[in-house]
Structure 1
Amino acid sequence: MPQIAPVTFAAGNAKKLLALPGYGLGALASIVVPRRRDLWVFGSGPGVGEGALALYRLVRRENPALTLLWLARDERDLAAAADLGIPAVLKSSRRGLFATLRARVIVVTHGFGDANRYGLRGGFVVQLWHGIPLKRINLDSPATLRTRLLPGSVVVRRMLRLMYRTAARSIDIMPAASEVSAARLRTAFDLPAHRVVVTGDPRDDLLVAGDETDRNVAARALLFAQLGIDDTGRRVVLYAPTWRDGEVDPGIPSAAEWRAIVALLEASDSTLVLRPHPHGVGDYAAGLALSDHVVLLDSARCTDVTPVLPAVDALITDYSSIAYDFSLLGRPIIFLAPDVDAYTASRGLYVDYDSFSGGTQKSTWGELLAVLAAADTDKAVRAVLVEHAASLAASHHAFHDGENTARVYRQITTRLKEHE
């Protein structure tokens, strides 16, 4: 099987620099191509999902007179959209470019490449982002400005910074989960305060809306359907590490650690669901071969992990913003951070890691398994983990009512009138 080059900031920035002529041509096209008042386009980096899907569904319900179109990455996304009854075109095609140039509203969750990046100028851009930042992002992180083109050049780095700052000015509204998140997004994107508005994150509505039992049942059905296996009724533990800019996940267990993990899973009648980051690097095959208590939920099976979170009984993560989302469920979160010093030095964090983890982080699987086992038998240990999750939810989510998407839609419609 051919090796796929890891996704890195350096490679992505090199492509941005090489694409500068395309941006110029797109800007010229935007002058002569009129935008349609009734056309909205949606895109999301990982595929059909995230907050863009939540907003699409609400807009379709609230304003059926609008024409809504999904901008797909590839044929797989086109098929996924068709299964959901969503009209879609390839974003990189001529139709995708023309749709972006014509759209009144352009909704993205990761970057401008979620749409056709050459057709953004003049549109009303809604940047939903994809979680509450813990690790520094965009202009707040030196890692963001790495490039393969003349990597030591100060001029190139300044050009990249200018490109990021100029691009961010295209964002008309950026919803945030809380004022904590809003403050980070404002500096990361160099946006004025009024463009980053606290509405709650649309993708988190399904974690709190409706009846808890119904949410859990639906999420388990979805999880095991995506895994392609029958629901065994076991407890579900999710391991979801973050992206490390092309580096291998240092949390991958050793052979001895895999055996200890499987022993605990079998003793506690649990399933460990491995969820590597879509751009993550690492091989988990040894654990998968060892036991059917270890299963893989990669991005090929599951584009958006948020809808299955209510099926998860305990989360294991490192620096991923999934901890903030999962905290809304009030369940144990255990932090595995074997490289906390190196990662913090390389990427930078918005807060001290101890604050994020509640000081409970472990550096080895042996230490982590002891905590996971104790959480089943020791009420005090479980209480510490649950209380920290509750504190993350209270401090990082302004709303817990399942109405985030509706607030975003109201903000868009209000600002569209001001925009005109």
Structure 2
Amino acid sequence: MPETTPAITFAAGNAKKLLALPGYALGAVASLLVPRRRDLWVFGSGPGIGEGALALYRVAERERPGRRLLWLARDESDLATAARLSIPAVLKSSRQGLWATLRARVIVVTHGFGDANRYGITGGFVVQLWHGIPLKRINLDSAETLRTRLLPDSALLRRMLRLMYRRAARSIDILPAASEVSARRLRTAFDLPNDRVVVTGDPRDDVLLRGEDAERSAAARALVFERLGIAPSDSRILLYAPTWRDGEADPGIPTDDEWRRIAALLDASDSILLVRPHPHGVGDYAAGPAFSDRVLLFDSRLCTDVTPALPAVDMLITDYSSIAYDFALTGRPIVFLAPDVDAYTASRGLYVAYPTFSGGSETASWSEALDLIERADTAPATRKRLAEHSESLATAHHAYRDGLNTDRVYREITTRLKEHE
């Protein structure tokens, strides 16, 4: 993402929430007056059409063909994608989007209430399919999430924001979790009772678990090369996917010397490097493709949901992103590159010590990361150690590996709807 793009931060987002309070109040009143349709479910996802919301849409479609399902699109691009996938959709910010949210019995989101029309949430059955297993502290568990541009030093506003987060979370009827480890973090982050955070497995991970490994890898490689618009090859695929740093520039952007060494490693090992900055990240990776045609940008504009592409990846390079927990299901090596681990831990906070997450093999620079990759390529013991840590992450953080996570979520929803009715 170019550095001239306005940074998205917690402070800016919280300021918007405070300014939108009158709209929330009006929406709550409208929700009391507008009856909800028992057969209408609406779906939304912050990055676009994908994530667990799309997986749940397909299961709901399969289980009840007559049910009315509607996607709440961010923009015209989402509308075009929905049309291509034969998914009925309206713009979430339009009058139709507000009306659909007000009328829906079930509202499915993956990031926040803004995935739908936030002013029509009250009174709906809200399914929050949180986007991954949290390593970094989120919501009420992190002071960083309560900062605001409006009177940033005001303790009163911070208390108001904390209250807003708590009250908003009460609207969540079910929050599926990948494991009890994840569930404990989500319960404190959203201040939810135990029965609302249920261990079903994460719907977005089903694509990593269904079928045979070779079939998944072949389909994912076809997807990657199709999105890149280049001819398929047998080259090894490395993926670099750093996390968001609340508006700060990504410290993991390689220097020119590091790009040269990356290019040399890619040539020597017949590999390509996919660079996937966070959709809200700050920093410019354009120098990479200039140094080597083996460095390819694979951002969210090319591939909204990266999870279906993960079986194509032979090695992941990341920092604090929950993508590590998803990728661990492949059993393949992960290289942890965290140049700012002390500062990030101090500001955002982590649920576990970073060496526990990384298996003690974290690197602090691209030079160290490349050294580790080269050792993994030449020393079977190193590669085995990295793969074993992936397996340990998967074992500890995923309760199910049967590819039926979405089905379990669907059954939880329908069972609870019957209880409500």
Q: Normalising by structure 2, what TM-score?
A: 0.99
Matching residue of 1:329: 330
Matching residue of 1:23: 24
Distance 1:167 1:4 in 2: 30
Give, as a single letter, the amino acid of the residue that structure 2 aligns with 1:59.
A
Q: How far 1:389 sits from its partner (Å)?
A: 0.2
| Kept after mapping to 1: 8 A contact 2:3/2:284 | no
1:233-274 Cα offsets, whole Å, 9 max, x none, are 210000000000001110100110000000000000000000
Mapping of 1:132-281 within 5 angstroms?
Answer: 132-281=133-282
Mapping of 1:14-413 within 5 angstroms?
Answer: 14-413=15-414
Distance 2:388 2:307 in 1: 21
1:197-240 Cα offsets, whole Å, 9 max, x none, are 00000000010111211111110011111111112221000000
Distance 1:322 1:291 in 2: 25
| Kept after mapping to 1: 8 A contact 2:210/2:403 | yes
Distance 2:142 2:192 in 1: 16
SS at match of 1:334: strand
User: What is the Cα-based RMSD across aligned positions, in Å?
Assistant: 0.8
Give, as a single letter, the amino acid of the residue that structure 2 aligns with 1:324.
Y
Q: How far 1:419 sits from its partner (Å)?
A: 1.6
Distance 2:405 2:99 in 1: 30
| Kept after mapping to 1: 8 A contact 2:55/2:406 | yes
Q: Normalising by structure 1, what TM-score?
A: 0.99
Distance 2:319 2:38 in 1: 43
1:294-324 Cα offsets, whole Å, 9 max, x none, are 0001111111000100000000000000000
Distance 1:51 1:2 in 2: 30
Distance 1:23 1:36 in 2: 21
Give, as a single letter, the amino acid of the residue that structure 1 aligns with 2:353.
D
Give, as a single letter, the amino acid of the residue that structure 2 aligns with 1:57.
R
Q: How far 1:2 sits from its partner (Å)?
A: 9.7
Question: Runs of 4 or more off by more than 3 Å in structure 1?
Answer: none
Q: How far 1:4 sits from its partner (Å)?
A: 2.2
Q: How far 1:3 sits from its partner (Å)?
A: 3.0
SS at match of 1:174: strand
Give, as a single letter, the amino acid of the residue that structure 2 aligns with 1:384.
R
Q: Which runs of 5+ in 1 are unaligned?
A: none
Identity rate, percent: 74
SS at match of 1:31: helix
Q: Which runs of 5+ in 2 are unaligned?
A: none
Distance 1:216 1:409 in 2: 27
Give, as a single letter, the amino acid of the residue that structure 2 aligns with 1:215.
R
SS at match of 2:14: helix
1:309-366 Cα offsets, whole Å, 9 max, x none, are 0000000000000000000000000000110000000000000000000000000111
Q: How far 1:186 sits from its partner (Å)?
A: 0.1
1:133-168 Cα offsets, whole Å, 9 max, x none, are 000000000000010000000110010000000000
Count residues in correspondence: 420
Distance 1:267 1:276 in 2: 25
